[in-house]
Structure 1
């Protein structure tokens, strides 16, 4: 075959001189960036708002800050509990702690209720009806970071006699728990910090194990880990530099998932190049020629696959929801650098190792036909079955996927982060104490703020008469503007439930009937309602945009409209099927009552982008077979045969790495890992080897329309 640009690139990057140049470049990058720039995990985690400022709940929060400063800032809730009931001695302990906070304020401490100077009886009057629990707040400035929060919790513990925060919930004496946004932020940072190390270790061990099974070579099992590991060590300081300069916000959750993505996708790209290299060594004496031809045959597909993933993940930048937006740069930039590392670092390493990379099963040149028959005989049988019975394959696989996809319509979603935490973590234990000892609505009252425009207006009675309201506190007037009036409303159900969100939606309509001026609904239930609206908007924007962009990329690469439509349709069905099957596992297998609301969009961008990855690799070989003059059925059969084993191996690795997330104590990551792993497996074992080849077979030459292959004779 004539030398083409990709082969010349392979000759350069894997050649005698070029390999040393590229190895030196990566080594210099690794050393300089590690020494000069901060690692991404050394940057403080972002603790700002997730919602746009124009959302009603955010505007209400701003009004609370301006007009009701005693309730303004980020609250830390301290939940006090005693089984026998709180007494004067317990109140004295609480007041002594608040006295120390007045004398020695914490970093970022904004406002402090005057509990230290109140009569003890006043605090006893705020105890729950059963007399066992009391909740006292401390407010911090909104710009206080998680590190300062953590230090503040440690100081508060030392300020409290007997350190009741470490006592068991079964202890008969006074116990305490931190809860509320500050404690949730600290617990989240702690969970994700430990998650990174666990993920890295578990992912590397899993990949090594699978690679040892695939290649039965200890050397080759380490090579992809080395390549992706070096890529990550370059990516981490670059992202750290971006975050340190305020170009992006560091998100611990995004970093955790990025680690899984890089090792999973990066190892897959390595597999495709390594497999081509091994095939070439079976027919080529010279290792330099073999690496050049391997790069020629795989680099185009690797680049297009990686590019598809990069632009697919980059569409998250269009999101209004903060967490979605913060995922865009780490994911897309990480995959981009990893893809470049596979194309410029892996060939030099393979060139240096030569055939001995595969020790002890060193590939030696044999006749090409014999090599192909030995390597691809099993997958060729699959390809032959698909091309001989395409209608049967399409009907069976489509019914299976559509039934699973229908199951996705039954999913229940939740919108609060706390439900993702382990039940024995500090902030969730505190929440449980509040839930057990106070009426449901007291957990998080709805803050109804009304601008009276100078009119005499009192809506306390109307609010109390609403069927979903349990209690309404006395109205309060704004400190800066007496026209601003606040009503704190307790709902008669769990304020974090979907039913409560529906009540707040109804409250907007009801309040509008007896208030003819501007009003706002704040509080955590209102924020959840706005979160639902913003996430829904992001899904409806990002999903079509991503589909359109990837479709255009496929169209430009394949020059075949029918096949591009087929590929997008199959990965879309695969996504909804993965969501449905994932829900069955999460709900009925693990007992989770609901799925985190962020899962559909997170899993969508991964499953759609990574699903098209494997399709591109297989379709590339089918197209090459047609260019070689094979008939359309034979081209499909050989395409499945030549890519089946490596794509199956790659799919198992990618699914396995995402499944590692299920070992973490964070429910959101568990659910995301399960849904994405299921999506990868469905694509690996059903969509890619069966459904897509069957559809290409059924459409015959129209699968190649309007490209040059469409004009080839069918045989």
Structure 2
């Protein structure tokens, strides 16, 4: 009889020579690539653009650069603040710093305004109305990297540290406080957050997985084995990604690397548990550990491989995105999971067979004959110890006896949670992701409190008048959300190009301000049309940070419309190929989508009502969709594949009941570990990762405790024979 390909693979990696060759091959591979290629974390983080040059805000920036050149550079804003009001002595300290910067420029400095030559009284005109705050700029070289910015910032700190308070609460103290904000400070803070997050995240994730594995399996050695397997996978993934980034094939994104670390330990441990669970079950029946492993690979390898492929396919769809961050996530995520899946089927079997049954100590799985021989040798009465799966058995009996009740209850529960999803509010402000005590956020807060909020991020309105002599300033000032509009500036190369700067009355990063961008454009177009300018729609561009965030919002919305259907279609195709059932494919996809919206709704309840977060980052829905759908299908595949295998020899009720019974504990364990690893992100001081971690962890838990053990088997039971249509199992009668 022809052997199954996975059984042949299992025999190969579990044989006496194969086990050692497999392990040594991988260790040698790790050594070679680690010494030959750079680790991904050693590659400089690329500040790649998230928007393409075709977006309106990018086009506006290009026109401004060409027509209104400014050689000053990238600004760092120094926010000086004293609660009781800035004093003459404070202003003298500001001037002293600028004199030093003028005479001895710091690293990457390009320009400083001559404030030291200005009479102190003249500076008072720039102080806020309440007299407490002054904002002064220092310009850095355009094109300088974050490392250069950071060094320059450190140099300034050394010059002022004895005269000002740079950290701690600025409210209530009587000192002169200084905070940094603006593009330079934000860039430095963002890089610093992710740089410090990587090590903390790795340590926290490893410790959490280790503790959970020990608690679940009560076997110290078995807890370490998945960690070793994931570590060996990471030993290839990190230098391989470093090689790609070093050669310019991909852009290194610190946020992507952080999340990839969590994904590897979470999903990687899951794949390990799927194989370990099956291996342990077979060791109770098969004495030869090599043969037991070959059978375990045969029975669980397909589910592991398919689970990995669904995640790889799902994450790879991010490459279709136009938004830069999404696109940069595609390769690290999909490549990492692919290598982890291969490791689970190559390295892990070799490790388990080499260690043997000792890996499960002190709860060693043995056959009945082995237990009898052991008891006889010790002169003790024979007691057979077998896993009972009592709780999982009860769940299996429940869903097979009352499937309709289970379906109604779970759908109502998940639907009620999903009803909160439309209430979610979004933000595209990067500063809102920073800790409140971070200097760039504190600096912005001070500016927002003491000046007109719109002054920090004015909107640039660029129009091409086609040579007509018109002035839009007064008409633009009539917009009810405009605090002020500067006088027009005429292009240096083309006098038909005009630039107006508009300050919002409210926070320029608020959702309402983003919604005003199309209103500004429509108003400018209408004014040009009234002045007789032809093709006015093609002669207006809106720039600035608010316009850029508006473009980000629209691009992300467009990406969602493309990626979400594609990932559903890809995973549906993989499920159809694996299960040979259109019916099962449809209801499995439906349950995962319902679970996703439920996770969003419950996540909003936790974040908004529980943690007081007013809005979540606009990129979160797509991130959580990709991960929730891809990872949620994983557990369904593992459980359903067990049902499909048992259905070949048993009636439907028994197949479903035993499918739930024998996968219950391992999927619950895997779900807890995966949810735990994503929850680790919530310990970081970066709001976007906190929000992503919490919502994804909630999605995993909903899949683990509601969708997989209750809803999916209940639907399978209710559909009956039709659940397998049009595959071979559909031809079997329900009670066969």
Measured against the shorter chain, the TM-score band is: over 0.9
Please identify, of 555-564 and 108-117, the stretch whose mean Cα deviation from structure 2 is larger: 108-117
Give deviations 1:526-569, integer Å, cap 9, x for gaps. 11111110110111110001101111111111110000001000
Which residue is equivalent to 1:545?
566
Q: Contact conserved, 2:167 with 2:439, CA < 8 A, in 1?
A: no
Q: Distance in 2 between matches of 1:119 and 1:482?
A: 36
Q: Of 420, 435, 449, which residue of structure 2 is paired with 1:422?
A: 435
The alignment partner of 1:375 has SS state of coil
Q: Compared with structure 1, are the counterparts of its residues 70 and 415 closer, same or farther at alpha carbon in structure 2 (3 Å cutoff)? A: same
The alignment partner of 1:98 has SS state of helix
Q: How does 1:217-366 map to 2 (within 5 A)?
A: 217-366=219-368
Q: Does 2:108 align with 1:125?
A: no
Q: Distance in 1 between matches of 2:204 and 2:38?
A: 25
Q: Offset at 1:238?
A: 1.1
The alignment partner of 2:75 has SS state of strand
Q: Distance in 1 between matches of 2:88 and 2:71?
A: 26
Q: Distance in 1 between matches of 2:510 and 2:301?
A: 50
Q: Offset at 1:71?
A: 7.3
Q: Distance in 1 between matches of 2:92 and 2:248?
A: 45
Which residue is equivalent to 1:703?
723
Q: Does 2:8 align with 1:8?
A: yes
Q: Distance in 2 between matches of 1:520 and 1:269?
A: 51
Which residue is equivalent to 1:435?
448
Q: Distance in 1 between matches of 2:16 and 2:69?
A: 70
Q: Of 685, 692, 713, which residue of structure 1 is paired with 2:712?
A: 692
Give deviations 1:61-95, integer Å, cap 9, x for gaps. 22222233337753322112223433454344333
Which residue is equivalent to 1:18?
18
Q: Contact conserved, 1:45 with 1:145, CA < 8 A, in 2?
A: no
Q: Distance in 1 between matches of 2:397 and 2:487?
A: 77
Gaps of 5+ in 1: none
The alignment partner of 1:345 has SS state of helix
Q: Compared with structure 1, are the counterparts of its residues 480 and 86 closer, same or farther at alpha carbon in structure 2 (3 Å cutoff)? A: farther
Q: Distance in 1 between matches of 2:711 and 2:467?
A: 68
Q: How does 1:339-488 map to 2 (within 5 A)?
A: 339-366=341-368, 374-488=387-501
Which residue is equivalent to 1:203?
205
Give the TM-score normalised by structure 2. 0.93
Gaps of 5+ in 2: 371-382
Q: Offset at 1:12?
A: 1.0
Q: Compared with structure 1, are the counterparts of its residues 157 and 68 closer, same or farther at alpha carbon in structure 2 (3 Å cutoff)? A: farther
Q: Distance in 2 between matches of 1:604 and 1:142?
A: 37
Q: Distance in 2 between matches of 1:436 and 1:133?
A: 9
Q: Offset at 1:654?
A: 0.4
Which residue is equivalent to 2:164?
164
Give deviations 1:647-700, integer Å, cap 9, x for gaps. 111001101111111111111111111100000000001001111111111111
Q: Offset at 1:2?
A: 6.6
Q: Does 2:666 align with 1:664?
A: no
Q: Offset at 1:293?
A: 0.9
Q: Distance in 2 between matches of 1:309 and 1:167?
A: 43
Q: Of 570, 575, 592, which residue of structure 2 is paired with 1:571?
A: 592
Give deviations 1:274-312, integer Å, cap 9, x for gaps. 111111110111111111111111111100100110010
Q: Distance in 2 between matches of 1:366 and 1:183?
A: 67
The alignment partner of 2:389 has SS state of helix
Q: Offset at 1:588?
A: 0.8
The alignment partner of 2:388 has SS state of helix
Q: Offset at 1:632?
A: 1.3
Which residue is equivalent to 2:90?
90
Give the TM-score normalised by structure 1. 0.96
Q: Contact conserved, 1:283 with 1:367, CA < 8 A, in 2?
A: no
The alignment partner of 1:470 has SS state of strand
Please identify, of 670-679 and 151-160, the stretch whose mean Cα deviation from structure 2 is larger: 151-160
Give deviations 1:427-466, integer Å, cap 9, x for gaps. 1110111011101221211111222333222111111111
Q: Distance in 2 between matches of 1:323 and 1:349?
A: 37
Give deviations 1:456-483, integer Å, cap 9, x for gaps. 2211111111111111223223333333
- What is the root-mean-square deviation of aligned Cα atoms in Å? 2.0
The alignment partner of 2:28 has SS state of helix
Equivalent residues, number? 713
Q: Distance in 1 between matches of 2:166 and 2:468?
A: 51
Q: Contact conserved, 1:64 with 1:72, CA < 8 A, in 2?
A: no
Give deviations 1:336-389, integer Å, cap 9, x for gaps. 111111111101110111000011111110389x99974333212211210111
The alignment partner of 2:479 has SS state of coil
The alignment partner of 1:706 has SS state of coil
Give deviations 1:44-65, integer Å, cap 9, x for gaps. 1121321111111111222222
Q: Compared with structure 1, are the counterparts of its residues 230 and 108 closer, same or farther at alpha carbon in structure 2 (3 Å cutoff)? A: same
Q: Compared with structure 1, are the counterparts of its residues 376 and 679 closer, same or farther at alpha carbon in structure 2 (3 Å cutoff)? A: same
Q: Compared with structure 1, are the counterparts of its residues 167 and 218 closer, same or farther at alpha carbon in structure 2 (3 Å cutoff)? A: closer
Q: Distance in 1 between matches of 2:343 and 2:25?
A: 11
Q: Distance in 1 between matches of 2:167 and 2:439?
A: 11
Give deviations 1:473-517, integer Å, cap 9, x for gaps. 232233333332221111111111111112222111112111244
Which residue is equivalent to 2:380?
none
Q: Contact conserved, 1:380 with 1:637, CA < 8 A, in 2?
A: yes
Which residue is equivalent to 2:66?
66
Please identify, of 517-526 and 390-399, the stretch whose mean Cα deviation from structure 2 is larger: 517-526
Q: Contact conserved, 1:231 with 1:341, CA < 8 A, in 2?
A: yes
Q: Distance in 2 between matches of 1:35 and 1:432?
A: 46
Q: Contact conserved, 1:34 with 1:237, CA < 8 A, in 2?
A: yes
Please identify, of 441-450 and 609-618, the stretch whose mean Cα deviation from structure 2 is larger: 441-450
The alignment partner of 1:125 has SS state of helix
Which residue is equivalent to 1:511?
524
Which residue is equivalent to 1:151?
151
Q: Offset at 1:131?
A: 2.1
Q: Distance in 1 between matches of 2:231 and 2:366?
A: 30
Q: Distance in 2 between matches of 1:525 and 1:202?
A: 36
Q: Distance in 1 between matches of 2:369 and 2:458?
A: 76
Q: Contact conserved, 2:165 with 2:175, CA < 8 A, in 1?
A: no
Give deviations 1:591-613, integer Å, cap 9, x for gaps. 11111111100100000000000
Please identify, of 320-329 and 65-74, the stretch whose mean Cα deviation from structure 2 is larger: 65-74
Which residue is equivalent to 1:582?
603
Q: Distance in 1 between matches of 2:120 and 2:71?
A: 22
Q: Contact conserved, 1:65 with 1:73, CA < 8 A, in 2?
A: no
Q: How does 1:492-503 map to 2 (within 5 A)?
A: 492-503=505-516
Q: Offset at 1:217?
A: 0.7
The alignment partner of 1:17 has SS state of helix
Q: Compared with structure 1, are the counterparts of its residues 72 and 541 closer, same or farther at alpha carbon in structure 2 (3 Å cutoff)? A: farther
Which residue is equivalent to 2:375?
none
Which residue is equivalent to 1:680?
700
Q: Compared with structure 1, are the counterparts of its residues 160 and 457 closer, same or farther at alpha carbon in structure 2 (3 Å cutoff)? A: farther
